[in-house]
Amino acid sequence: MTHQRITIIGTGCIGTSIGLALRQSPDAGHLQIVGHDREWGRARQGQQLGAFDRAEFNLDLALNGARLVILAVPLATMRETLAEVGRLLSPGAGVVVTDTAPLKVPVIAWAEELLPAGNYFVGADPFLAPGAGGWEPLEGLHNAHADLFQRAVYAITARPDAHPSAVRAVANLALVLGAEPLYMDPVEHDAARVIADAVPDVLATALFQAIAAAPGWAEVRKAAGRPFATATAAAAGDAASRRMLALWGRETLLRGLDAVLERLQSLRETVAQGDAEALEKAFAGVSQARSYWMAESRERAWEIERGALQGENLFQRTLQALFGEGLISKKP
């Protein structure tokens, strides 16, 4: 068989980690991984790290012959990227396009608007395991590594009328990366992302603003360590994409913030009253619940729909897993 080309657009931490994982898969020799980034130096650096067989500055050349295109760009630039890809893909080419964005409803709508007919978009979003890559935001190639997606849940938000082979391609891409595919409704996915990401983001922003503006910050910043760093980690990263996530899910975000404010007010009253027993009970209860959640997350101890890699030949099996039987037979 000829090489099957996978093009990764966006060679930051996520895109480069996907490339590294694919390049270290058993049949990497039969795959051609092409990286493209607007920052040419970053794509070249990703190639030097071993994530890509080739780094292409020209998007047209990067897409030429691709069977699978992975958009690992910030949410803030996703629509523009889809427009560029849609302009270059030929109608009826049968290319599978997927993404890694934290919002699915708007991205799916953009893909339907901008990609030519006969190409297949399947929305996806890796939910990384807690602590994957450390506690800092996953930015920069120094945080990229091949096992980033181990024990991750790979959310897939395909429309009901999506091409079955395209859905299979993305679901089994997750398996090749070491993750577990989880099929979600786009609206359900976006609400979960807003609660899990945007609420901590706003709280971390408020926490840092409040502490850094306090008169004692000059001394507090010297004492601040891991607890403060982890508590404010959500406030780092691409501001434009974080703003989009917060405002897209504004109603969900407001409900989440109201719930937190209610709990915060209750804890404030407990502290003000000097109620040691109630405060310790609250601390212990959350500590226990968090430990349980962390252990559950590490083991992925919930029911997830698993894909299946079938066939005796490992190379054939990997290609079928990535592309699906219906797409393998098509020539690029």
DSSP assignment of 283-320, as one string? HHHHHHHHHHHHHHHHHT-S---------S-HHHHHHH
Least confident of 88-102, 252-266, 284-298: 284-298
Instruction: Report the CATH architecture of 188-299.
Output: Orthogonal Bundle (1.10)
Q: How far apart are CA 234 and CA 138, in angstroms?
A: 11
Residue 135's pLDDT band (boundaries 50, 70, 90)? low
| Predicted pLDDT of residue 134 | 58
237: Cβ contacts below 8 Å, ≥ 6 apart: 137, 139
Residue range(s) of every CATH 3.40.50.720 domain in the chain: 4-184+303-328
- 249 pLDDT more than 60: yes
Structure tokens belonging to residue 31: 């795959």
Report CA-CA distances (Å) from 292 to 196, 295, 297: 17, 5, 8
Question: What is the identity of the amino acid at 15?
Answer: G
Percent with pLDDT over 70 in the chain:
87
DSSP assignment of 25-73, as one string? STTGGGEEEEEE-SSHHHHHHHHHTTS-SEE-SSHHHHHTTEEEEEE--
pTM of the model: 0.88
Residue 130's pLDDT band (boundaries 50, 70, 90)? confident
Mean of pLDDT values over 119-135: 83
Residue range(s) of every CATH 1.10.3660.10 domain in the chain: 188-299
Mean of pLDDT values over 123-140: 76
Structure tokens belonging to residue 125: 């979003």
- 172 pLDDT more than 70: yes
Percent with pLDDT over 90 in the chain:
70
Question: What is the identity of the amino acid at 100?
Answer: T
Q: What is the DSSP letter of 312?
A: S
Residue 301's pLDDT band (boundaries 50, 70, 90)? low
Mean of pLDDT values over 155-179: 90
Q: Any idea which residue has 């989440």 for tokens?
A: 256
- 314 pLDDT more than 60: no
Tens-place pLDDT, residues 264-296: 999 999 999 999 999 999 999 999 999 988 888
For domain 4-184+303-328, give the fold: Rossmann fold (3.40.50)
**HSE value, Cβ hemisphere, 13 Å, CA-based, for 106:** 17
Structure tokens belonging to residue 94: 């049968």
| Predicted pLDDT of residue 96 | 95
